[in-house]
Chains A and B, each alone.
Chain A
Amino acid sequence: MSTSSYFLPGTIDEAVSLAKAHPNDHVFYAGGTDIQLHVKQRLIKPNTIIDLTAIESLKSVSIQKKNMKLGTMVTLDQIVKNPDIQKFYPILAEAAKSIATPVIRKSATLGGNLKVSNRCSFYNQSFDWRQSVGSCLKDTGDICQVTGGLNHCYSRNVSDLVPALIALNARIMVQTSTGINEMPLIDLYVPDGLIVHTPLGVGGIITEIFTSDEPSKWWFKKLRLRKSLDFTSLTVAATVNKKDVLRVCVNGVSMAPVLVETGINDVTLEGLILQVKRACKTVDNDYMPLKYRREMISAFITDCWNTFH
């Protein structure tokens, strides 16, 4: 990786001030499993690397019956193997287990997964490939290679933890140079393939994710060709809590995760599918065909519905 500076802060404060000092060209480096790919394909060229791996306070795990708090430097491997997560939040363990491969999960972190880059089969290509098609809006070009449009990018949010965490009604803590904020995880995502994430503020780091919404029922499924390694073509995570609130979160088929939250008895299956499909802007930018992915949205939600009823 050719970068001009590399920092290894020991505290969150230090990391935030480093970020503040390099406002436009820094990247937080967690496990690096997403960043490295983008550097290799010359999609990003970070000048300043702020490596978060030495910040111990970001690695805490606390699960007390209903309350789960996870530091963002917790690895996916830890999530898969944690007995309390398996017991109280199995949907999260299941989601983590569906990601990449056992080896990659040892480096990949929760924080990195919350901010994993959006993907598109015309964008996640080598430099030469992109040059040969004339690039696209998300890169240096001026049209979308999928739609031919001049304004909108439909790159897909492909995180698998995010839908599970949103279905768990999770919230995140963000530390910036001006203080600490709390927000619902869903608010981190912007349904625009060029923007993708809500700006966190100067030097902003996501420090922690937490939830106290222990579900009474859960459902998780990821669509992909192979049983490991592949990114999602569609991920659906859903929970029903003690108050009969149904939360269905769909990812991998739109620019941001799509959430439908409703009383389980206040909606029909058809109504639910319609709401989800209306909110998804699915285009033909994945290796699985568009028509099939759309069909699978209905199929997955139907299966989930049948499991819950």
Chain B
Amino acid sequence: MGRVIGKPTPLIDAVQKVTGKAMYTDDFKFPNMVYVGLHRSPHAHAKIMSIDTSVAAAHPGIKAVITGKDIPIAFGVLPISPDETAMAVDKVRYVGEIVAAVAGETPEAARAGADLIRVSYKPIKNFITPDESLVECSEDEKIHQHTKNSKNIHKIADLSFNDPKDGIASSSFTRSVDFKFAGVTHAFTEPHSTIAVWNGDESLLVITATQVPHYLHRTLSKVLDIPLHKIQVKKPALGGGFGGKSDPFPHEMIASKLAILTNRPVKCTLTREEVFLTNHGRHPTEMTMSVGCDVAGKITALDTDIVIDGGAYGSFGVVTSYYNGVLLQGPYKIDRFGFITRRVYTNKPQSGAMRGHGAVNPRYAVEVVLDMLAHDVGMDPCDFRQQNFLSENTKTVGELRITSNGIRECLETVRRKSGWDDRYGKLPNGHGLGVACGFFISGSALPIIWNRYPQTVVHAKLDFDGRIVMFSGASDIGQGSDTMLVQIAAEELGISMSRVQVEVADTKLTPVDLGSYSSRVTFMVGNAAKQAVDKIRHQIAASVGNEKSVPREAIQFADERVFTDDGKLNLTWDEAVDIAMAGRGAFVESGFYISPKLGGKFKGSGAGLSPAYSFGAFIAEVKVDPMTGQVSVIKVWSAHDCGKALNPLSVEGQIEGSIHMGLGQVVSEDMRYHNGRLLNANFWDYRIPMTLDTPEMDVTIIESNDGEGPYGAKEAGEGPIHPVLPAIGNAIYDAVGIRMTELPITPDKVLTELRKGGQQ
């Protein structure tokens, strides 16, 4: 299928980016621009007694100084947990929280001004670890007063079907294992950056590095009390997000407020250290994963008890709490199923959504436990998994609707390509293979803010010049959604990609899209885009059919021509456009996407619902040095079912990126704290794998052609990270016989386990 769809296609902005021409937020300059300096808390938890801004305000070049009281309205990306303010109001909740801000004529003046702000604090008891937050404390010690318990628990999410505890107790084989995961962060390339401009007509323009222009639009309106129609949020070229730019952020509100106060354009670009302190990365997690199976290796029940460390604020935490549990319902069929997640507040930078949202840590745990059970039963871990897979067109116990499902083919592929059957369990000591699977949503079926609007609308415009412009609120954050829009228009209209341009992520020009999160864009925006350009095609066919007296159904669009197969009609694209323009000129067509109504009727039934799910199976090969305990990942075979690869080049890129990112979390990355102070807030000490640490990758794309996805597409941006981590963990077991239950798997931990002599 497809002239454009399904062909490896370089991203339309790739050359601009690699030649340095692409304009990122910080590249924009405005006349008379001033700069933001942020004053941050040195305390993890303290009451603000007083703030003296007088010296800062008098410093040369300082144009304005603001504190928390100037922007007191609370916000949060989820309307159910607005627990954050742009700057701390009465107290600070983590080291690095913003307490005050200045606007200065130069970045240096702004920095100096921020340093001159004097704050007096009265320290409050710190809650750094989840254990500390799970203990009763007095009301005035609590991190947030709104929590409805005398501890620092933010959210308890739980679901249970068919008494899983009893299911486990009565299983022939059971394993119940404790796991611990350090916090990791997105480590995107481009630091957070925002420019705010207060226009003469009292409207606000915000150019910003965001994955969610729409949520920022709404939040700015609420927090700054400006009507929605007076706010324009624009996302220019963006250097990576991975979930780290999917909240509305304090610096975006601060820059906007300062723009209003100074009546000058304001720029705020965070340093790398500030980016680390802003965090919103993966929650540090502790969990007990219990799974049972029968003598034939059929999974009987799963139950898990999870504590996630949310840091100081809510962010996406309520969703994360559910995702930790509900996304364990696949890719295996499990009829007796339950989980409880407690999200606690601690005095650390907040956790949030990160690639693979909520499901990465429990995926590690469950895949390791399944591996153990396979060995208990005496089955090959691939065979064990094969016989437990969900089928296609089915429902999970929690009523997640599964449509297309390529998991079997995924596993068969990596099994064959890696030589698993000849090599697993047979490699020399210190050398091993491991397998794991995963699945993930292709967009959340429910919007964050409940309303009856579509989840996305796309406009396609045709004008006399023969150009198609696609208007979409979708945020290309490097994943290639702009290219996808162009591909779809070119495919549907039979024109070259160079005729199609995009106008995207601008809340004044583009119709609402909810944002680039939950792997929703290809599925939802792709469907809407296809609908919009299909309507353009119908319009052209109608005009041309009318004028040339050919039945419009017979009209074809290909190779920049509009024709009928019998040769009676044979127009160039421009000739056809000319006819379509007659009597009306340029026109716009609209497409939209609303997810079908899905899910059960119980409380919590909305979590994890998606119109389609991706699936994947990975095998990793590792070597473990018995002297140092160091793990080297040599090769990863991956097979991912993305439904249909609209652009195989970018699907491969997503899978490779996921392997690299998963590798980091499993062997080296770790947000490390010293009394609540982040110890490694830089790219040296926060250890992302280097080229030499990165394994050879073998990528296979499996296409299950989903019935509802555009051209059959599902997702590929997040799903491929899940199997990476446990495949490596399980390979370490094959290599040296130890089960690693604490991430990252640093050499000291491996050595400690090796000393213990390994376990079964």
Q: Do A and B come from one complex?
A: yes
Binding site for B on A (CB under 8 A): 101, 121-122, 125-126, 128-129, 131-133, 223, 225-230, 287-289, 291-292, 295-296, 299, 303
- Give the contacting residue for A227; candidates B42, B679, B693; CB below 8 A: B693
On whether the beta carbons of A228 and B692 are closer than 8 Å, the reply is yes
23 contacts between A and B (CB under 8 A): A101-B690, A121-B685, A126-B273, A128-B40, A128-B42, A128-B273, A132-B95, A133-B675, A133-B677, A225-B687, A226-B690, A226-B692, A226-B693, A227-B690, A227-B692, A228-B690, A228-B693, A287-B679, A287-B685, A288-B747, A292-B751, A295-B751, A296-B628
Complex: how many Å from CA A296 to CA B748?
10
On whether the beta carbons of A129 and B681 are closer than 8 Å, the reply is yes
Number of interface residues of B (CB under 8 A): 28
The 3 closest A-B pairs by CB, nearest first: A132-B42, A292-B748, A227-B692
Whole-angstrom distance from the CB of B347 to the nearest CB of chain A?
13
| A288 contacts across to B, CB distance below 8 A | 746-748
Asked if B674 is at the interface of the complex by the 8 Å CB criterion, the answer is: yes
Q: Which B residues from 625 to 670 make CB contacts under 8 A with A?
A: 627-628, 667-668
- 1/0 per residue, CB under 8 A from A, across B671-686: the answer is 0101101011100110
On whether the beta carbons of B42 and A131 are closer than 8 Å, the reply is yes
Complex: how many Å from CA A226 to CA B43?
32
| B681 contacts across to A, CB distance below 8 A | 126, 129
- Give the contacting residue for B677; candidates A129, A226, A296; CB below 8 A: A129
Asked if B689 is at the interface of the complex by the 8 Å CB criterion, the answer is: yes
On whether the beta carbons of A291 and B40 are closer than 8 Å, the reply is no
On whether the beta carbons of A229 and B674 are closer than 8 Å, the reply is no
On whether the beta carbons of A225 and B40 are closer than 8 Å, the reply is no
| A292 contacts across to B, CB distance below 8 A | 747-748, 751
Question: Which residue from chain B places its CB closest to the CB of A102 in the assembled complex?
Answer: B691
| B690 contacts across to A, CB distance below 8 A | 101, 226-229
On whether the beta carbons of A226 and B627 are closer than 8 Å, the reply is no
Question: Which residue from chain B places its CB closest to the CB of A101 in the assembled complex?
Answer: B690
Question: Which residue from chain A places its CB closest to the CB of B675 in the assembled complex?
Answer: A133
Binding site for A on B (CB under 8 A): 40, 42-43, 95, 273, 627-628, 667-668, 672, 674-675, 677, 679-681, 684-685, 687, 689-693, 746-748, 751
- Give the contacting residue for A287; candidates B273, B680, B693; CB below 8 A: B680
- Give the contacting residue for A225; candidates B42, B672, B747, B751; CB below 8 A: B747
Complex: how many Å from CA A132 to CA B99?
14
Complex: how many Å from CA A194 to CA B8?
58
| B692 contacts across to A, CB distance below 8 A | 226-228
Whole-angstrom distance from the CB of B257 to the nearest CB of chain A?
23
On whether the beta carbons of A121 and B679 are closer than 8 Å, the reply is yes
Question: Which residue from chain A places its CB closest to the CB of B271 in the assembled complex?
Answer: A126
Given A225-B746, A287-B672, A292-B748, 15 more A-B residue pairs with CB atoms under 8 Å apart are A101-B690, A122-B674, A126-B681, A128-B273, A129-B273, A129-B681, A131-B42, A132-B95, A133-B674, A226-B689, A226-B693, A228-B692, A292-B751, A299-B628, A303-B627
| A125 contacts across to B, CB distance below 8 A | 679
Complex: how many Å from CA A141 to CA B674?
17
Question: Which residue from chain B places its CB closest to the CB of A134 in the assembled complex?
Answer: B42
On whether the beta carbons of A291 and B748 are closer than 8 Å, the reply is yes
| B627 contacts across to A, CB distance below 8 A | 299, 303
Question: Which residue from chain A places its CB closest to the CB of B692 in the assembled complex?
Answer: A227
Question: Which residue from chain A places its CB closest to the CB of B40 in the assembled complex?
Answer: A128
On whether the beta carbons of A226 and B668 are closer than 8 Å, the reply is yes
Complex: how many Å from CA A270 to CA B482?
65
| B680 contacts across to A, CB distance below 8 A | 287
Question: Which residue from chain B places its CB closest to the CB of A133 in the assembled complex?
Answer: B677
Given A133-B675, A296-B628, A299-B628, verify A229-B684 contact (CB < 8 Å): yes
Complex: how many Å from CA A131 to CA B672?
18
Whole-angstrom distance from the CB of B98 to the nearest CB of chain A?
12
| B746 contacts across to A, CB distance below 8 A | 225, 288
| A126 contacts across to B, CB distance below 8 A | 273, 681
On whether the beta carbons of B628 and A225 are closer than 8 Å, the reply is no
Given A226-B693, A299-B628, verify A289-B748 contact (CB < 8 Å): yes
Whole-angstrom distance from the CB of B754 to the nearest CB of chain A?
12
Complex: how many Å from CA A287 to CA B746?
11
Question: Which residue from chain B places its CB closest to the CB of A295 in the assembled complex?
Answer: B751
Complex: how many Å from CA A129 to CA B685?
14
Whole-angstrom distance from the CB of B100 to the nearest CB of chain A?
14
Complex: how many Å from CA A133 to CA B675?
9
| B687 contacts across to A, CB distance below 8 A | 225-226, 230, 287
| B751 contacts across to A, CB distance below 8 A | 292, 295
Complex: how many Å from CA A230 to CA B746?
14
Whole-angstrom distance from the CB of A241 to the nearest CB of chain B?
26
Complex: how many Å from CA A128 to CA B99?
14
Complex: how many Å from CA A295 to CA B634?
26
- Give the contacting residue for B668; candidates A133, A225, A289; CB below 8 A: A225
Most buried by B among A126, A132, A288, A289: A132
Complex: how many Å from CA A303 to CA B625?
13
Complex: how many Å from CA A133 to CA B678?
11
Whole-angstrom distance from the CB of B46 to the nearest CB of chain A?
11
Whole-angstrom distance from the CB of A81 to the nearest CB of chain B?
18
Whole-angstrom distance from the CB of B119 to the nearest CB of chain A?
12
Complex: how many Å from CA A121 to CA B95?
17
Most buried by A among B689, B692, B747: B747
Most buried by A among B628, B667, B674, B684: B628
Complex: how many Å from CA A299 to CA B43?
41
